[in-house]
Amino acid sequence: MQRSLSAVEYSRDEEVLAGMAKALSHPVRVK
């Protein structure tokens, strides 16, 4: 169960990082 939760948190963090990278690559911020 803990491993599953960790995987979910990792996926969420990865998505956030991807979103930040995308925002940095584009001059216009999209929320």
Predicted confidence at residue 31, as pLDDT, reads: 59
How many whole angstroms separate alpha carbon 28 and alpha carbon 22? 10
How far, in whole angstroms, is CA 15 from its chain's centroid?
Answer: 2
Q: Which of 20, 23, 25, 28 is nearest to 12 (CA)?
A: 20
Q: What's the chain's Rg over C-alpha atoms? A: 13
Please write the tens of the pLDDT for every residue from 1-31. Answer: 566 767 767 678 888 888 888 888 776 665 5
Q: Write out the two tokens for 14.
A: 């990865």
Predicted confidence at residue 1, as pLDDT, reads: 55
CB-CB contact of 27 with 20 (8 Å): no
